[in-house]
C-alpha cells in the first residue's frame, strides 16, 4: 500500500535529506587513490552519529538477503552496480576506479536515501561520460515526476533519454517509495511507459535511482555475500539516486546538495 507523507513528515524528511547530502558531499571529497572502502564506512558512521541521525542500513534485513546488512553505506566499485559491502572485504581504491556510495539515514523517524558515483582520481573519458549521463538521467527522471502524472512517466523519461547513448539500463533493480521504511511501494523502474503505474500525488516520497552500464543490462547477484550486484559482462556501471517528494508545484529534491 502506498502511504502519502504528511506536511510534518516532509519537514523531517527535508532535514534528514540535508544531513544526508552533506555527508555524501564530505564522503565524496574523501574519495582518492589509497583510501579504503572501510575508511569511508567508518567516516560515514561517525558523521551520521554526530548529526544525530541513524544509520538505517546497518542491520537492515531486506527480503532478498540471507542476513542483515553489515555496514552503514554501500560502496560499489567499477562492475559492481549496487550493494557492494565496504568492510567484507575492505578494498583500497585505485586511480581510475569509480565508486558508487549509497547511503540511507533516519532522522526524526523518517528515512531518506541517496547515492552517487564518484571517480577515483582521473578516470577514462568513456567512464566519466557514463557518470555524467547517469547523473543527468536522474535529473530527467525527477523532472518527469509531476503531480497528476504516473510513476511510469519517470521510467519512460529516463529510458528515452538514455537509449540514444546505447548504455545498458539495469532493469532488475529499481527505485522505490521511502520515508517510513528503507524500501516501500511503489517500485520506480528506470524504463517504462508514460501514463502507467500509480498516480503521482502530492506527499508521495520516492527514491529515484537510474543504474547504467557501459555494456549490457544483465546483472548477477552474489550468492556468497548475499548482496553484491555486478554487471554480468564485467562492464563499468554508474548509479545516482535522490529522494524526492511530489508537490503541487513539481518535484522537490529532499537530498540535494546546497
The answer to whether the beta carbons of residues 175 and 113 sit under 8 Å apart is: no
| Closest C-alpha among 106, 139, 105, 116 to residue 28 | 116
Q: Which three cell numbers stand for residue 146?
A: 509531476
Q: Establish if 101 lies at the interface with Mg ion (CB under 5 A).
A: no
Q: Establish if 24 lies at the interface with Mg ion (CB under 5 A).
A: no
Q: Which residues pair with 104 in a beta bridge?
A: 113
* In the complex, minimum distance from the CB of residue 208 to Mg ion, in angstroms, rounded to a whole number: 9
Q: Establish if 57 lies at the interface with Mg ion (CB under 5 A).
A: no
Q: Establish if 38 lies at the interface with Mg ion (CB under 5 A).
A: no
Of the candidate spans 49-57, 59-67, 84-92, 113-121, the one that interacts with Mg ion by CB under 5 A turns out to be: 113-121
| Closest C-alpha among 163, 168, 156 to residue 197 | 156
Residue 1: how many other CB atoms lie within 10 Å: 6
Of the candidate spans 62-70, 161-169, 202-210, 221-229, the one that interacts with Mg ion by CB under 5 A turns out to be: 202-210
Minimum CB distance to Mg ion smaller for 74 or for 200 = 74
Q: Establish if 207 lies at the interface with Mg ion (CB under 5 A).
A: yes
Q: Establish if 252 lies at the interface with Mg ion (CB under 5 A).
A: no
Q: Establish if 113 lies at the interface with Mg ion (CB under 5 A).
A: yes
Q: Establish if 153 lies at the interface with Mg ion (CB under 5 A).
A: no
* In the complex, minimum distance from the CB of residue 113 to Mg ion, in angstroms, rounded to a whole number: 4
Q: Please count the residues of the chain.
A: 258
Strand extents, DSSP E, 133-231: 168-169, 175-177, 184-188, 205-208, 211-213, 219-221, 229-231
Rounded to whole angstroms, how far apart are CA atoms 155 and 193?
A: 7
* In the complex, minimum distance from the CB of residue 186 to Mg ion, in angstroms, rounded to a whole number: 13
Of the candidate spans 27-35, 45-53, 60-68, 109-117, the one that interacts with Mg ion by CB under 5 A turns out to be: 109-117
Q: Which residues bind Mg ion (CB under 5 A)?
A: 113, 207
Amino acid at each position: 500500500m502506498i502511504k502519502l507523507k504528511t506536511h510534518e513528515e516532509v519537514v523531517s524528511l527535508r532535514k534528514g535529506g540535508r544531513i544526508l547530502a552533506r555527508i555524501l558531499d564530505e564522503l565524496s571529497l574523501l574519495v582518492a587513490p589509497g583510501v579504503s572502502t572501510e575508511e569511508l564506512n567508518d567516516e560515514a558512521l561517525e558523521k551520521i552519529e554526530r548529526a544525530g541521525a541513524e544509520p538505517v542500513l546497518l542491520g537492515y534485513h531486506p527480503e532478498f538477503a540471507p542476513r542483515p546488512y553489515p555496514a552503514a553505506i554501500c560502496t560499489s566499485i567499477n562492475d559492481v552496480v549496487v550493494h557492494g559491502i565496504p568492510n567484507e572485504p575492505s578494498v583500497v581504491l585505485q586511480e581510475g576506479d569509480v565508486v558508487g556510495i549509497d547511503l540511507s539515514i533516519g532522522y526524526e523517524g523518517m528515512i531518506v536515501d541517496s547515492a552517487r558515483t564518484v571517480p577515483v582520481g582521473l578516470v577514462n573519458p568513456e567512464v566519466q561520460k557514463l557518470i555524467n549521463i547517469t547523473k543527468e538521467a536522474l535529473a530527467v527522471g525527477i523532472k518527469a515526476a509531476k503531480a497528476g502524472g504516473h510513476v511510469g512517466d519517470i521510467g519512460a523519461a529516463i529510458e528515452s533519454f538514455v537509449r540514444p547513448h546505447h548504455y545498458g539500463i539495469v532493469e532488475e533493480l529499481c527505485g522505490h517509495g521511502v520515508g517510513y521504511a528503507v524500501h516501500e511501494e511503489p517500485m520506480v523502474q528506470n524504463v517504462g511507459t508514460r501514463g502507467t503505474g500509480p498516480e503521482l500525488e502530492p506527499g508521495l516520497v520516492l527514491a529515484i535511482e537510474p543504474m547504467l552500464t557501459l555494456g549490457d543490462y544483465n546483472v548477477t547477484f552474489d550468492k556468497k555475500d548475499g548482496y553484491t550486484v555486478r554487471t554480468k559482462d564485467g562492464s563499468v556501471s554508474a548509479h545516482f539516486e535522490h529522494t524526492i517528494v511530489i508537490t503541487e508545484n513539481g518535484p522537490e529534491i529532499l537530498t540535494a546538495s546546497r
